Amino acid sequence: MHIPENYLSPSTCTAFYLAIIPIIKRTISKVKEQLDRRRMSLLGVAAAYSFLIMMFNVPLLGGTTGHAVGAVIIAILLGPYAAFIAVAVALTIQALFFGDGGILSLGANIFNMAFAMSFSGYYIYNRLKNKNENLAVFLGSYIGLNIAAFLTAIEFGIQPYLFKAADGTPLYCPYGLNVAIPAMMLSHLLVAGVIEGVISLLIYKAAKQIKLVKIYENNEEPKVMNKIYIFIAALIALSPLGLIAQGTAWGEWGLDEIKEIAGFVPKGMEKGINFEAIMPDYTVSGVNEVLGYIISAILGVMIIMLLFRLIGIFSKKGIEN
């Protein structure tokens, strides 16, 4: 679901960056109100979880792949504003260091997976939780992921209608709404959404068992956080399972694949920006694929945890001053 570089026009990308600016401002304000310095460590863990769970690619229909995002379960446990920050940070690290999602299209990816998924899924959960809590968790996660997928499909699908070369061929994503929507939605409605819902429900049950939301009330923080860190370490160790799924996620093809599938390379994509990530596709030069994937997972988690650690330190200094 990560929109790569040059699949959306620069004007489309700019519009999404402008759209998320007020969301970011509002979110920072709300998170400051809701999370103190100690709880900032939970936010870092949530971002690390989202980063890692997106590395677990699963096979979808038509030989493509997809992944869970984790936005809704984070929203349920920490609130939708915290979920927005966590997933947005995960997406940014993925784009900057691993080339997973474009730099220009980062605003659109944040809008879809961090904003729309977190808030829509949390709203559904909140409406249903008094009737059936487990069902609310599952449906919130399932529908939230599919809303994000639907928005992504629309963003892909409007490109051929709005942006054409002089010869009439699409400049960016070559597939219109009639192709993009069914291609994205069938896989997410039938497979990816179900996986998202099941994983969220398992995480929710585990969080209740260790009393995650009450760890600061009963001085249980060290014990509970140790369990959480063990869980993150297990995800890192298991991350190469994401390599088993063969194929490329729909709409995330390279130029060679586009030419093979569509029969041509749109000029806007061919002449677009070419950002070189340090560890593209979670690989490490000179290291085998499995070990490179694990190293990438470790590095990504370390960067995220360090970032939130620094935020916590500066937040403390701000309060003391």
Q: Name the residue among 99, 70, 89, 77 with its Cα closest to residue 28.
A: 89
Q: Which residues of the chain have pLDDT under 50?
A: 319-321
Q: Residue 170, SS3?
A: strand
Q: How far apart, in whole angstroms, are the C-alpha atoms of residue 239 and residue 253?
A: 22
Q: Supply the pLDDT for residue 212.
A: 72
What's the confidence (pLDDT) of residue 40? 74
Instruction: Look at phi and psi of residue 219 and say left if phi exceeds 0, alpha if psi is from -120 to 50, else beta.
Output: left
* Residue among 67, 19, 65 at smallest CA distance from 251: 65
For residue 37, what pLDDT is reported? Answer: 60
Structure tokens at 254: 């390279």
Per-residue model confidence (pLDDT) at position 320: 47
Domains of the chain: 10-318 (1.10.1760.20)
- N- to C-terminal Cα separation, the chain: 42
Structure confidence at residue 315 (pLDDT): 61
What is the pTM assigned to this prediction?
A: 0.94
* 284 phi/psi in degrees, rounded to 5: -125, 125
Q: Mind giving me the DSSP string for 86-152?
A: HHHHHHHHHHHHH--S-STTHHHHIIIIIIIHHHHHHHHHHHHTTT-HHHHHHHHHHHHHHHHHHHH
pLDDT tens for 84-121 read 999 999 999 999 999 999 999 999 999 999 999 999 99
Question: What pLDDT shows up at residue 180?
Answer: 95
What is the reported pLDDT for 311?
Answer: 77
pLDDT for position 139: 98
What residues pair up with 59 in beta bridges, in sequence order? 65
Q: In angstroms, rounded to a whole number, what is the distance separating the alpha carbons of residues 146 and 191?
A: 10
Q: What is the spatial distance between Cα 148 and Cα 106, in angstroms, rounded to a whole number? A: 14
